[in-house]
Chain A
Amino acid sequence: MAHHSAYYVPPQSHWPIIGAVGLFLTLGGAAALIYSLQQESDSLLAQIMLNSGALILAGMMIGWFAAVIAESRQGLYSPQLDRSFRYGMSWFIFSEVMFFFAFFGVLFYIRMFAVPWLDGEGDKGLASMLWPQFEATWPLLEAPNPDQFPPIREVINPWHIPLINTVLLVGSSFTLLAAHKALKREDRGKLKGWLSLTILLGLTFLGLQIYEYIHAYTELDLTLKSGIYGATFFMLTGFHGAHVTIGSIILLVLLFRVFQGHFTPESHFGFEAGSWYWHFVDVVWIFLFTTVYLL
């Protein structure tokens, strides 16, 4: 059974309410900004809300995590509390898995049902009468109504940048593993080296992804607006890219903490949580590469 030294119950904290206000301003500001763009009205207040909200959220994260790290380094945390963090992070990652699961589900539904049905397959024959000239293909270059959703000239070649990105991201999982091993061996020099290399790989991935997006928009006419292929492509790769960005920030914070002398071979949950997140993002990419780019 568990060790039951007293469980640390923190005293009152102002970080959660700051976080709630920050979240409200960020999301409310984002909503107001999008709303005012749509209504073509003045968006100054929305921008102020969004930016101040984002700043408050960033400050909250720094302050809250700093408080937790300080408590941990004071030795307030029992092994039981350490498990709470581990379980908590695992379930959080599970929720992220379900988020991506929904988008992959959308992709499969579109490819297996929606697009063939529009071409008259199955017993939903009526759908095919709307756009008789429509042909079901995948990648879907031309949407049923090309006037509303302009056609794509060409899709991304998976064997160029996406392949390089796959090598980079899978490689970064291994370099992170090496960093973890170095941390356990108390080899701080190698830890810094491998962790920095991981971040470098992550940032290179992001850079190439941005390049690919620009290429898609400017040369391939592959955009969010180019029908369902563009929509699923940018939604999946976009949310994945956002997660790589968050993961990179987490790794940067970890590197900063390594330089501060944090983490011991026995106790380094922050490092492990960050690396779990990174591996998760890597696994999502492997699914993405196969189902979005390759197949």
Chain B
Amino acid sequence: MSAHAETLHHGPAKGFSRWILTTNHKDIGTLYLVFSLIMLFIGGTMAFVIRAELFQPGLQLVMPEFFNQMTTMHGLIMIFGAVMPAFVGLANWQVPLMIGAPDMALPRLNNFSFWILPFAFTMLLSTLFMPGGAPNFGWTFYAPLSTTYAPPSVTFFVFAVHMMGISSILGAINVIVTIFNMRAPGMKMMDLPLFVWTWLITAFLLIAVMPVLAAVVTMVLMDVHFGTSFFSAAGGGDPVLFQHVFWFFAHPEVYIMVLPAFGVISEIIPTFARKPLFGYRAMVLATASIAFLSFIVWAHHMFTVGMPLAGELFFMYTTMLIAVPTGVKVFNWISTMFKGSMTFETPMLFAIAFIVLFTIGGLSGLMLAIAPADFQYHDTYFVVAHFHYVLVPGSVFGIIAGVYYWLPKWTGKMYDEKLGQWHFWLSFIGVNLTFFPMHFVGLAGMPRRIPDYALQFADFNMLTSLGAFLFGTTQLLFVYILVKTVRSGKPAEQLPWEGARGLEWSVPTPAPYHTFTTPPELDKE
């Protein structure tokens, strides 16, 4: 059939239309990654405003109302605009390459999933310029803050979230179908690279919980505009119900943002330790267990809301159970490195920092899981420290590590190793300087989401702000490194990393526009 030949060998289109009309998984992966980088800087700018205001006690720069808008928008943009799209970008690039597929299973749908996002965030960001300002109720949009006391822009927030949800669900369907249906002949599920496994489970979580987010924002919209009383006790509803539905979505969402990072790390550690991953089956099972547990732990975010004792206990114990599979993962990563011939290129540095710092975030999570202790920690900076440790040196380091690791294959060029090392060390110092002191001010009782604080927290807050400025500015270096690599990087080899295994390294460097148009032969080891 001649139509086949034509469609399979079309190269990239000329001009800008390539990026708008593309059905190519590599183009779409690039779009996702670039979009996520832009969002990282927009969300980062908001973090700058927050940290500048908190540099010293007292109100200096912004009004409390605007401060609340900044914390809300920072959270929403980083979660839905920066971290999630970055992982979808990595999946777009890597899943077809790693399983020997010609493209994603549904290429046009793939383009649709991406192009919804810029519109969704245009809508969300436009709320900053509306009368009454942007959403100010925190990214968790608890009722009644998001219903009775919400600014008028809440309506646009609701529809923007709907668009992000549609994008995520369609993207996840594509990933899951690709993995189930597009594997090279002979590649069994238990042959899948761990990055693919973690994304499979992430995609399942996305399809399961994004509709719940859609439901909860819809109920907010109904309560605000159409007189329903889902979250109003005066009508027989319950504001606590909001928290239950929201966290039923948002707890799996937390794992959506970190499981693919686990996958990236599980690819990088074996490469630079020059040993196969320790305990592959255990890693797969641990990931699946974490995903399962994520559905039955949600109310640990609500220990202080006034739940029956049985609820407190149930959610405390299930939450603590998560430490078991997570511990398995950390143990396996370390065992992979044990007695390996390790080298410490930039991706490996970020990966090792991931293991150490993510574990710190995991341990503070365990502290928060203890219901009676949580009464002290709840809504303090200790919580902020906890989730930033799992999200920044967790998810974000995972993404950066993945980008450095696969960049040579994507671009055909090698990044500047020396600058990469600078990027790592500055980020590492910055991230710890920012978030470590938050533990102390949090334990001492400094509440989160507040533009002013008591004098005794001043020193630690100044340190935190300095760290944030360092970390934020360092990411400009990351952009410089990326641009430099694409423009004038040295040509990369077919196999840029000595210890790297997997189908993605079997294609030429840079990866041609179309790869695996006929499925590859697998050589069984």
Contacts and interface: CB of A to CB of B under 8 A. Distances in A.
A169 B223 CA distance: 30
Contacts of A13: 21, 23, 108, 111
A91 interface: yes
Interface in B167-222: 169, 172-174, 176-177, 180-182, 185-186, 207-212, 214-216, 218-219, 221-222
Contact of A102 (B169, B211, B221, B519): B211
A274 B9 CA distance: 33
Interface in B217-259: 218-219, 221-222, 225-230, 233-238, 240-241, 244-245, 248
Query: How many of chain B's residues touch chain A, expressed as a range?
Result: 35 or more
Q: Which residue, B152, B208, B235, B245, has most C-beta atoms of chain A within 10 A? A: B235
Contacts of B219: 106, 235
A10 B233 contact: no
20 contacts: A9-B514, A17-B20, A23-B116, A27-B162, A30-B159, A31-B155, A76-B3, A87-B176, A95-B207, A99-B211, A102-B212, A103-B215, A105-B244, A105-B248, A114-B240, A149-B234, A149-B235, A228-B235, A231-B230, A235-B218
B235 A96 contact: no
B324 to A, nearest CB: 27
Contacts of B233: 114, 118, 127, 130, 144
A224 B224 CA distance: 12
A157 interface: no
Contacts of B519: 4
A95 B211 CA distance: 6
B185 A38 contact: no
A160 interface: no
Chain B interface helix/strand/loop/mixed: helix
Q: Which residue, A80, A83, A106, A122, has most C-beta atoms of chain B within 10 A? A: A106
A202 interface: no
A226 to B, nearest CB: 8
A38 B123 CA distance: 18
Q: Which residue, B162, B209, B216, B230, has most C-beta atoms of chain A within 10 A? A: B230
B166 interface: yes
A231 B222 contact: yes
B364 interface: no
Contacts of A74: 3
A85 B237 CA distance: 40
Interface in B287-346: 306, 308-309
A167 B233 CA distance: 36
A108 B23 CA distance: 43
Interface stretch (B44-52, B99-107, B502-510): B99-107
A20 interface: yes
Q: Which residue, B10, B123, B156, B211, has most C-beta atoms of chain A within 10 A? A: B211
Nearest to A102: B215
Given A12-B13, A12-B22, A92-B173, A110 B105 contact: no
